[in-house]
Amino acid sequence: MWSILVIATLLFITGHAIPSSCPGIPPARYPFELATGWAAVKVADGLSMPRSLVVDNKGRLLVVERGFGISQHTVDINGCITSSRTLVSMSSLNHGIYLGIDGRALYASSASDVFRWAYDPENGNTDGPPDTVVYNMTSDDHVTRTLIIPPHRPDLLVVSRGSNSNLDYATSDPATARSVVKVFNISTVPNGGYDYSQHGWNAGYGLRNEVGLAFDGNNMLWGVENSADQLTRDVNGTLTDIHNDNPAEELNFLGDVTTPNDAWYGYPTCFTVWGPDASIASTIDAHKLDVGQQFVLAPNDTFDDNTCAHVSMPPRLAFQAHTAPLDAKFDAPRYENLFVTLHGSWDRNPPMGYKLVAVPFTRVAQDGSYAPIAKANSRDGYIDVFYPPNEGQCSATTCARPVGLAFDGAGRLYMTSDASGEVFMLGSSS
């Protein structure tokens, strides 16, 4: 049933069939397969670690190339790239990019700062050097800063910042301004920009590395989270390696960013179950915890799994452990699927991820809110759309590693693969 919903949405949003190839572009470096009704073609090759991307008002692609800057690509009626140029040369840019709602401001991020350029959507040029909008975000571990602007509030900029280490215990205090998503008023930026640690307001904290952000049809924010690696569970002195199937990656509901959200989402203390087994059994009644429930690494008399259930905000849906979700885009205007890139695991045997998936959504009749169709304890809450033929044999040198997503005005979905330096275009097969 869910695959039918994905196909129906595809046919609704895609006005142009995907060509079998684009002129001058070599075949995909690695084999891939597609869900029924989908087609994909490679549109760019040889980019320098392409990460996030946006589409401007004239249909041009703007791509952050890590360690290089921002490249700009003009496309034809079929969605194939006809010309490319360097728009911004700035080696510190590494991930985030977004256009103002009117298309006349371009935002991009480094590990430490968010920059803003004046942008002319008619000719695709920037005007002068950038202003600094946000600063003081340097970290030693997670260095990507995702950017997004609410469609109904062009005066707000949302910026995510991850943890400083695998288990960054200091982030239990939101004042660290790590493992957090924050909101800034960009209609009146102070001279020199906002200090990330001191200014803005929270859209949730205890979010280890909320790389992908997306607004639903009610302008409510959702995030996909990369959870921790190499975890062990210590129960009464018995230490168990649980890292292969735990903790789950997460889909979190962050809500209305126009007002502060000071809810705690669990990190670095409460983690989400993907693989329920005897090593993650409730310390209260010895029953296995279910998928989507949260657990602690070392339960004790003052803080255990049951504490998590009372004080932490659990995810709305779980993803396979270590698959590394990096971007999320709804299929506006229907909002029936949230497309999520899974970059792929590095510490799991066999490997998992290396694909694009769709999370089917529905609008709840009682209050008009949006929510995943699958229940929070489901392990089948998403559908493979673009995926490797042998996921368990993947690595950075044998499979595409999806990162950024952007829909164009024709409903075609562009997707970057950073390790292979490629950009793909996906849409209807007919």
Average pLDDT over residues 383-409: 98
pLDDT in tens, 101-126: 999 999 999 999 999 999 999 999 99
pLDDT in tens, 335-394: 999 999 999 999 899 999 999 999 999 999 899 999 999 999 999 999 999 999 999 999
pLDDT in tens, 42-95: 999 999 999 999 999 999 999 999 999 999 999 999 999 999 999 999 999 999
Report the chain's mean pLDDT, rounded to a whole number: 95
Question: Cβ atoms within 10 A of the Cβ of 77, count?
Answer: 8
pLDDT in tens, 253-276: 999 999 999 999 999 999 999 998
Residue at 56: amino acid letter: D
Q: Per the structure block, which two tokens stand in for 160? A: 């995510």
Q: How confident is the model at residue 160 (pLDDT cuts 50, 70, 90)?
A: very high
Average pLDDT over residues 157-171: 98
pLDDT over 70 at 132, yes or no: yes
Q: How confident is the model at residue 16 (pLDDT cuts 50, 70, 90)?
A: confident
For 32-64, b/e burial (b = at least 16 CB within 10 A) is bebbebbbbbbbbbebbbbbbbbbbeebbbbbb
As a whole number of angstroms, the distance between CA 183 and CA 133 comes to 12
109 and 159 in contact (C-beta within 8 Å)? yes
- Residue identified by tokens 């509030």 is 153
pLDDT over 50 at 329, yes or no: yes
Q: What's the order of all strands across the beta sheet hosting 156-161?
A: 147-148, 156-161, 180-185, 201-205, 261-264
Q: Per the structure block, which two tokens stand in for 25? A: 């572009």
As a whole number of angstroms, the distance between CA 236 and CA 300 comes to 8
What is the reported pTM? 0.96
Contacts of 70 (CB under 8 A, 6+ apart): 62, 63, 64, 86, 87, 88, 90, 93, 97, 106, 108
Average pLDDT over residues 187-209: 98
Question: Cβ atoms within 10 A of the Cβ of 138, count?
Answer: 13
